[in-house]
Copies of this chain bind each other. A is one copy, B any other.
């Protein structure tokens, strides 16, 4: 028994995420968010509370969907190194597609760490990313430890270290893509990165 809203919450979050992704947290204004989402200021603040709360929701949604996508690729059958290679290749293909469709390049989580690492007022966002990173590292560590036991992965570096290495490689790929590296170079990076894992 009340006036219904005229927008779809998920669509608004998608549009807002795209904008935060492209421009960063600080450079994205409430005005731009209204324009990108089609909402008025009242609706935006009535629905999400504040720019920071909206960003937190966008970031959380982004982290959840990418974590799920990661888990799916990692869970596939096959050689351990091949699975990691598929994971990294997926990153490259994503960048290629985003580049051709005009979508923002790079990764919202990586961008947020780079932008907000020294921002004591917005530490909550960093903690969100840190939790996601911890979970991702646990997943990778388990996979790599099993691969090591199976003799598919080098024993020269501890599994936790290799997991951190794979995670760093993804960030490196993302930054390289944002820096304008051509697709062929990104593919080379994947080839090199997977070499490090083999026995």
A187 and B191 CA atoms in complex are apart in Å by: 21
* Cα of A21 to Cα of B114 in the assembled complex, Å: 10
Copies of the chain in the assembly = 2
Residues of B within 8 A of A110 (CB): 114, 175
Complex-state Cα separation, A106 to B173, whole angstroms: 16
A123 CB to closest chain B CB (Å) equals 11
Q: Is the CB of A160 within 8 A of B188?
A: yes
Alpha-carbon distance between A22 and B118 when the two chains are bound, in angstroms? 5
Inter-chain contact A157/B196, CB cutoff 8 Å: no
Q: How many residues of A contact B (CB 8 A)?
A: 56
Q: A154: CB under 8 A from chain B?
A: yes
Residue A93 CB within 8 A of the other chain: no
Contact between A189 and B165, CB atoms less than 8 A apart: yes
Complex contacts, A165 vs chain B, CB 8 Å: 188-189, 192-193
Residues of chain A having any CB pair with chain B under 8 Å: 21-24, 26-27, 104-106, 110-111, 113-115, 117-119, 126, 129-130, 133, 154, 156-158, 160-162, 164-165, 167-173, 175-176, 178-181, 184-189, 191-197
